[in-house]
Structure 1
């Protein structure tokens, strides 16, 4: 490891470790050093622990005095899930290999290192405060939804249909064996979900979830038309906005964070997933077709060819199931918290309504 041992816990991110790592990465001159480090927990992520890191330097430097650091979760089941789904590896590799070459607005990376075998990793990223994360449980305004969907064009269009991305094994689409495993596991996970949440699961969610679990193999094998880099967890909790954006007093692009599920897959699923998870259904119904048309125009303006509005609509409708899949798996696999319970139920409730609204059962029958 170029940076020596990985500081995979906050207490290991000492001035000495940071000085060495930042020098090795070429960010810090030999005659400058990190003098002090102070940390505050931030965010609600269940797979990782995130900290805002304040540093003081001795000597000259162009570096900022605050960063965001990400570490593996202290919860063993979350770490196991992270290794199984290659979540930590995906995020570190995204920052190492892709982020700098894509116009999508993501934080600058200062340090990124991982030991794939142990799951140890550390990320030191740009602090985008005072930008604040959205709250998908609360939902959002049409204006914020428009900004979020527009940003997806900057992620999807540059590498649209670029099969060379599959040479990164951490981005490759699921193998036949992996799809078969997921198809066989999902009914059990769904039963666990129903047992856990019981009476809180409304009839439309039971109906949509039951149908999806029966037809999961068709969903995983569906012919995808529009492929690209997908975020695969593109919801308000993973977007940071300038505070005035939520109040409608300023414009501003979102900063996209949490790249633990990045993959090469069906790009418009990100659009379905965002509008399904993060916009309350009555608002979504009013704006989704208009935002989808804007997204299509954005793709075309950025060089995407041979992808019709009709193809997009087919991918978009099928993509309403993407949130059901992630929601069921995550609800049962990650550390249980009160906010997590509310979030998963709200998410799955909305994704079920979305699938039913768009007759998405027809796309995986």
Structure 2
């Protein structure tokens, strides 16, 4: 148990706090001075790089994550239990899976949802480009890493903590939320959405309960927001995955479809769906996961709306920014096209 006070924001951290935090983590060092800069593109959390000066086994830089300073986004993080989930992941689940994540020096949260994560700096790694998308090489790497998240705990019913199982939203409640928010989504982005894309937003809403209820196979720990903004390529690791604030217990193919559908140019994705999914499927077999290729493909197609659903809901409940608007449009458009290409609505209807 740490004796460190919990800072409410980056301004609450000083050199003495950093020194004690490092020593509690097993790093023998003293911080004598530091500077800070804001990094990343997150909307629900705030990421700060600490550049350190001092003595001993001192890392040159660390990254701290805190609640968003935007009151709307912060309240969303509190209401959706995002901050609690991320701290829980690093405290209790990181060691149970094999996906590459940054080293965590300190993780703490209080009853008022003030939290801090201090982690290794993944520089000179580069954050994935959500707007520009990724190439196939990066896609293959992400799909392999995804198998290392799902495989170790596939079908593991001990993942029963309320912070994970509470993400299994009641289908009726989820549909009510989607139906409430989707008209505002279409209205806000009317000039940027094609008639075909608007029709897909409505079709997904119409069949949302079937979409949520059709999968009856083994479940696993899923990231929910497995996309390029939450990935760091290069640096200490070929790929490290961050932002574990939405974790749930559900169908692994949700993450797979969400990533591919939101991350690749639609033309490139359409030529490569099976190849990318095969990379994930083959890596899963290393964990003796029992799923046929036919079921893997079926639920990959079934979950194609995942990115569209996220774009519709998230865009309406976090603070609006220009970059956020561009991001949600990219996610929605790519995912809508994936649904068309894979005949997803028909697959959902068939159950």
Per the normalisation by structure 2, the TM-score is 0.94
What are the within-5 Å matches in structure 2 for residues 57-68 of structure 1? Answer: 57-58=54-55, 60=56, 62-68=57-63
> How many equivalent pairs are there?
349
Contact 2:168/2:249 (CA < 8 Å) preserved in 1?
no
User: In the aligned structure 1, how far is the partner of 2:334 from the partner of 2:283?
Assistant: 26
Distance change (3 Å), C-alpha of 1:135 and 1:183: same
Give the direction of change, closer, same or farther, for the CA distance of 1:322–1:3 in structure 2 (3 Å limit).
Answer: farther
Q: Give TM-score scaled by structure 1 length.
A: 0.91
Shift of 1:290: 1.3
1:350 to 318, 334, 346: 334
Decide whether the 8 Å contact of 1:47 with 1:79 is kept in 2: yes
Instruction: Give yes or no for contact 2:215–2:251 (8 Å, CA) kept in 1.
Output: no
Q: Render the CA deviation track for 1:210-229: whole Å, top value 9, x for unaligned.
A: 01112222222222425211
Please give the root-mean-square deviation of Cα atoms over the aligned residues, in Å: 1.8
Please list the CA deviations of residues 273-304 of structure 1 after superposition, one character each: whole Å capped at 9, or x if unmatched. Answer: 11100101100011110121221111112221
Q: Deviations over 1:293-352 (max 9, x none)?
A: 2211111122212x1001111211111121122111111111111111111011101111
- 2:183 and 2:138 map into 1 onto residues whose CA distance is 35
- Alignment pair present for 1:237 and 2:236: no
CA distance in 1, matches of 2:168, 2:273: 32
Partner of 1:330: 314
Structure 2 unaligned regions, length at least 5: none
- What is the CA–CA distance in structure 2 between the aligned matches of 1:208 and 1:324, rounded to whole Å? 9
Structure 1 partner of 2:163: 170
SS of 1:93 mapped into structure 2: helix
Q: Distance in 2 between matches of 1:39 and 1:2?
A: 24
Please tell me whether the aligned partners of residues 21 and 105 of structure 2 are also in contact (alpha carbons under 8 angstroms).
no
Partner SS for 2:189:
helix
- C-alpha change, 1:174 and 1:130, in structure 2 (3 Å) is closer
Task: Please identify, of 136-145 and 214-223, the stretch whose mean Cα deviation from structure 2 is larger.
Answer: 214-223
CA distance in 1, matches of 2:168, 2:310: 18
Aligned to 1:141: 135
Q: What secondary structure is seen at the aligned counterpart in 2 of 1:165?
A: coil
Provide, for residues 36-75 of structure 1, a one-character-per-residue CA deviation record: whole Å limited to 9, x for no partner: 12111101111111011112234x3x34221110010011
**Structure 1 partner of 2:31:** 34
> Are residues 242 and 26 of structure 1, via their aligned partners in 2, closer, same or farther at CA, if it must alter by over 3 Å?
closer
Matched residue SS, 2:42? coil
For 1:314 and 1:241, the matched residues in 2 are separated by 30
Choose which of 339, 344, 347 in structure 2 pairs with 1:363. Answer: 347
| Structure 1 gaps, min length 5 | 244-251
